[in-house]
Amino acid sequence: MSRPTPLPFAALPTRAFHATARVRFGDCDPAGIVFFPVWFAMANAAIEDFFGAELGIDFHALHATRRIGTGFAHAEADFMAPGLMGDQVALTPLVTRIGGASYALTLHVHRAEAELLRMHLVTATTDLDARRAVPIPPDLRAALAAYQGRCADA
Amino acid sequence: MSRPTPLPFAALPTRAFHATARVRFGDCDPAGIVFFPVWFAMANAAIEDFFGAELGIDFHALHATRRIGTGFAHAEADFMAPGLMGDQVALTPLVTRIGGASYALTLHVHRAEAELLRMHLVTATTDLDARRAVPIPPDLRAALAAYQGRCADA
Amino acid sequence: MSRPTPLPFAALPTRAFHATARVRFGDCDPAGIVFFPVWFAMANAAIEDFFGAELGIDFHALHATRRIGTGFAHAEADFMAPGLMGDQVALTPLVTRIGGASYALTLHVHRAEAELLRMHLVTATTDLDARRAVPIPPDLRAALAAYQGRCADA
Amino acid sequence: MSRPTPLPFAALPTRAFHATARVRFGDCDPAGIVFFPVWFAMANAAIEDFFGAELGIDFHALHATRRIGTGFAHAEADFMAPGLMGDQVALTPLVTRIGGASYALTLHVHRAEAELLRMHLVTATTDLDARRAVPIPPDLRAALAAYQGRCADA
């Protein structure tokens, strides 16, 4: 399990979407750095913004109205540098795989040019009422594919 | 990235340590299941108990007095079944690697016999004041190795 | 808004219910003490235990099956001493008022004899589906009154 | 303990500072509304923004560098309407009292014109290393008083 080499912010795809967040006092632990589970909550918030602002899909309506869940089948993070109180960070999701009932994102977290951590997240789409897997809804699939294409452009 | 096959609780090493936790109302999201970052916070709490009750090392004194940090270099989870409000879960850490300045744990989370999720966690020991890596303290190293040995016993 | 005088643990009613919790690393902030919103989450967990173990009412079934909500109309806390990493605390709810569609609890939090904080919580019972106030269910009302009576006994 | 009458957003002082936040999926509980301790964490984040953007005092440097704590002696909230997933809210702090070693804020939380909740927060300034009360630092005192004055202007 070798650790990734930090990727400078400038090396991200030009057309990638960036969510932003600020590290809060309450996000930090007695070691003075972001308590690691908070990064996963920030990632989820970044994906909410990504859905609404980049994919054109209202994350909250998807859950509350359409009753489609986007829970994680897998979540992992490599921590390269600590986040500190007051840090402004950019969270950049990139689509790495679009399957039948799941898709995968890599999410880079940067403070200025420095990559602090990198996540790999596999989301399984589910019917929230029946609690079973369902195919990725066509509008979400199309939006993910279009974004993936935009990021691949030179 | 294939998903693991759930391991029945009964298949864990006989002498493994089990922390316990209860899924709280506030741990759950509008989908009615544990919000995934909460599992990582529960894992950290389980490791605190593991240190105190099994390794004989006070987790809080390690940080506050000895100023040794046990932050994660890597954390990942495969989610196999959702946790629900009121669930009683067992969290079982197993030592998989003891390196120079880091060690790895696999942490299984079960509700009765069903494995809900499995985490792989790599901890790097640090000097909290100097914010740099330090070798695993000898008492912690010895305790981790002894526990690993007990778990390997038939 | 004068601050309350700490009440020794021994001065609590003999038959009062005590939930217990441990202050975790992740509950603490860069000042090294419990981040104050965490106390409110701990209070909710204590009330879950109080419902199940003392009132004989399953908190989670009340919400998930019976669809009765127990949200707060008012929540307040006076902080008298900080909670520290590793602290074992007792959370003691006392019923102070039972109204038509709401009831009030005082919740004392102690570390050994020292009262760390005291909360006053007003809960309004609601129909979770209709999102409107409903009378306190009869079984909950009877259990709250019986507990209040037990605590008032000399 | 009578409940306050909601104050329309338009009735707030013209020159009051407003922090903003978005209610996230992970902020909500199985009842589908903001889990109440989250409001207190949002309040703390709003005060961080208030310090930096309105008072001209870096909240994080105040703690990390100057080692002044701004912990709460008292925190309370009246909940008037639930917050829902995706809500955009404005958090408006008003200074109500400036004492020797403590100050009080009222913090209104609105979604558009509707006040969802109102908090009263008493902050005690402390020396984080000595863990004892200290007078409000002069720059913070002056900034709080100036803001209070601006809000009182017609």
Find out whether C119 and C69 touch, Cβ atoms under 8 Å. no
Nearest to C25 among A26, A29, A32 (CB): A29
Question: Which residues in chain C come in under a pLDDT of 50?
Answer: none
CB contact at 8 A, D36 and C71: yes
The three-point CA angle D137-D58-D61 to 5° equals 80
CA distance D136 to C76: 24
- Write out chain B residues lying below 8 Å of C60, CB-based: 25, 84-86
Q: What is the rounded CA–CA span in Å between residue A51 and residue A57?
A: 5
pLDDT, residue D154, reads 62
Instruction: Name the residue with tokens 């919580």.
Output: C121
Distance, in Å, from the CA atom of C133 to the CA atom of C125, rounded to the nearest integer, reads 6
Tell me the average pLDDT across B109-129: 97
CA of D1 vs chain A CAs: smallest distance (Å):
30
The beta-carbon contacts of D14-18 under 8 Å, at least 24 apart in sequence, are D14/D153, D15/D150, D15/D151, D15/D153, D16/D92, D16/D93, D16/D94, D16/D151, D17/D50, D17/D53, D17/D54, D17/D92, D17/D93, D17/D147, D18/D90, D18/D91, D18/D92
- Could you tell me the two tokens for D120? 């009263």
The CATH superfamily holding the domain D17-153 is Hotdog Thioesterase (3.10.129.10)
Phi and psi angles of residue C69, each rounded to the nearest 5 degrees, phi first: -95, 150
C-alpha separations of D75 from B150, C16, C127, D40, D46 in Å = 48, 25, 28, 8, 15
> Which residues of chain D does A85 touch, with a Cβ-Cβ cutoff of 8 Å?
60, 63-64
pLDDT exceeds cutoff 60 at D144: yes
- In the prediction, which pLDDT does C154 show? 61
CA distance linking residue D37 with residue C45, whole number of Å: 12
> Which is it for the CA torsion A136, A142, A148, A151, positive or negative?
negative
pLDDT for residue D97 is more than 80: yes
Q: Counting one residue from B and one from D, how many pairs have CB atoms under 8 Å apart?
A: 24
Residue pair B111/B87 in contact (Cβ under 8 Å)? The answer is yes
Q: Which residue, B83, B112, B86, is CA-closest to C53?
A: B86
The minimal CB distance from A31 to the residues B31, B69, B120 is found for: B69
**Longest Cα separation, chain C:** 45
The percent of residues above 90 in pLDDT, for chain D, comes to 92
Q: Is the model's pLDDT at B86 over the cut of 90?
A: yes
Per residue in B5-49, pLDDT (tens digit) is 999 999 999 999 999 999 999 999 988 899 999 999 999 999 999
Residue of A nearest to D58 (CA): A86
Q: Is C139 left (phi over 0), alpha (psi -120 to 50) or beta?
A: alpha
Chains contacting B with at least 3 CB pairs below 8 Å? A, C, D
Q: What confidence score (pLDDT) does residue B31 get?
A: 83
Hey, are the CB atoms on C36 and D40 less than 8 Å from each other?
Answer: yes
What is the maximal distance between C-alpha atoms in chain B?
45
Please give the DSSP secondary-structure letter assigned to residue B12: S
Work out the minimum CA distance from B24 to partner chain C, whole angstroms: 6
pTM exceeds 0.95 for this model:
yes
Q: What is the pLDDT of residue A3?
A: 79
Which of C32, C37, C85 faces A26 most closely, judged by CB atoms?
A: C37
Distance from CA of B82 to the nearest CA of D (A): 14
What's the pLDDT at A32? 84
3-state secondary structure of B89: strand
**Nearest CB partner across the interface for D41, out of A26, A64, A86:** A26
pLDDT at B154: 62
Please report the pLDDT score of residue B127 as a whole number.
94
Q: How confident is the model at residue A149 (pLDDT cuts 50, 70, 90)?
A: very high
Average pLDDT, chain A: 95
Q: What is the pLDDT of residue A154?
A: 62
Contacting partners of chain A (3+ CB pairs under 8 A): B, C, D
Distance from CA of D133 to the nearest CA of C (A): 12
Cα C54 to Cα C46, C120, C121, D85, distances in angstroms: 11, 19, 18, 33
Touching partners of D (3+ C-beta pairs < 8 Å): A, B, C
Shortest Cα–Cα distance, C72 to chain B (Å): 13
CB nearest C25 (choices: A30, A32, A85):
A30
Look at residue C2 in the predicted model and tell me its pLDDT.
Answer: 67
Chain segment A20-79, per-residue pLDDT in tens: 999 999 999 988 899 999 999 999 999 999 999 999 999 999 998 999 999 999 999 999
Closest-CA residue of chain D to A51: D86
- The reported pLDDT for the residue numbered D86 is 93
Which residue type, as a one-letter code, is found at position A74? H
Q: Determine which of D24, D50, D87, D121 to mutate to test the interface with A (most A C-beta atoms within 10 Å).
A: D24
- Cα atoms in the Cβ-side hemisphere of radius 13 Å centred on D38: 21
What 8-state DSSP symbol labels residue D30?
A: T
Distances (CA, A) of C89 to B104, C56, C117, D85: 31, 23, 11, 33
DSSP E strand boundaries for chain D: 19-22, 68-79, 88-98, 102-111, 114-127, 132-133
Mind giving me the DSSP string for D53-87?
III---HHHHHHTS-EEEEEEEEEEEE-S--BTT-
